[in-house]
Amino acid sequence: MNRFGDMHCSIAQAVGVIGEPWTPLILRDLFLGVRRFDELAEDLGISRNLLTARLERLVAAGVVEKRLYQERPVRYEYHLGEAGREIVPALITLMAWGDKWSTPPGGPPALLRHSCGELFTPVVTCPHCGGEARADTITVLGGPGAAQGPGTMVLAAPGAEGLGIGG
């Protein structure tokens, strides 16, 4: 466990689960259908002990599900759990950022096709008006869990209503 898990902040809590090096790439591979340990290790070029540790942590957090596919010897496949499937929009948004700001030579290595059949670049939008959610269009308010302490000191400070984060 890292110190992010002790912070009273949703971003810090999320980073504590999925922010370790290799973890987003493991989640990417699981989303793409790479399921077996040996395939994950080969595709990522990650050491087996590090992959084991990351998978165990993701399984414990409910992000990944471990499913038996062979009894002798015992072998498992790994699948995104509900929490893992719900992180996919954040992963593809991170991918879009990488495509824009640090594209590999030759252009983006992957394109996204929506179930409607069209290629798209992910955009975070307001579910009420459909407007794009960007640093200059949102205001952060202290929520019911805001408390004085590491990770929420700004949100829990007196007069913290209507913080224009990023403006």
pLDDT bracket for residue 10 (50, 70, 90): confident
Higher pLDDT, 104 or 126: 126
- Residue ranges in the chain assigned as alpha helix (H): 10-18, 23-31, 37-44, 48-60, 82-101, 153-156
Structure tokens at 154: 């700004």
Q: Using an 8 Å Cβ cutoff, are 58 and 84 in contact? A: yes
pLDDT at 108 over 50: yes
pLDDT at 1 over 90: no
Could you give the CA distance from residue 123 to residue 114 in angstroms, rounded to a whole number? 13
pTM, rounded to two decimals:
0.85
- Distances in Å between the alpha carbon of 107 and those of 40, 99, 113, 119, 123? 24, 7, 17, 15, 19
Classify residue 4 by its DSSP letter: G
Q: Quick one: CA dihedral 76, 80, 83, 88, positive or negative?
A: positive
Could you give the CA distance from residue 54 to residue 60 in angstroms, rounded to a whole number? 10
The pLDDT of residue 122: 96
* 49-98: pLDDT as tens digits: 999 999 999 999 999 999 999 999 999 999 999 999 999 999 999 999 99
The pLDDT of residue 158: 58
Could you give the CA distance from residue 141 to residue 122 in angstroms, rounded to a whole number? 25
Could you give the CA distance from residue 63 to residue 126 in angstroms, rounded to a whole number? 25
Q: Cα angle at 136 between 23 and 155, to 5 degrees?
A: 65
pLDDT at 166 over 60: no
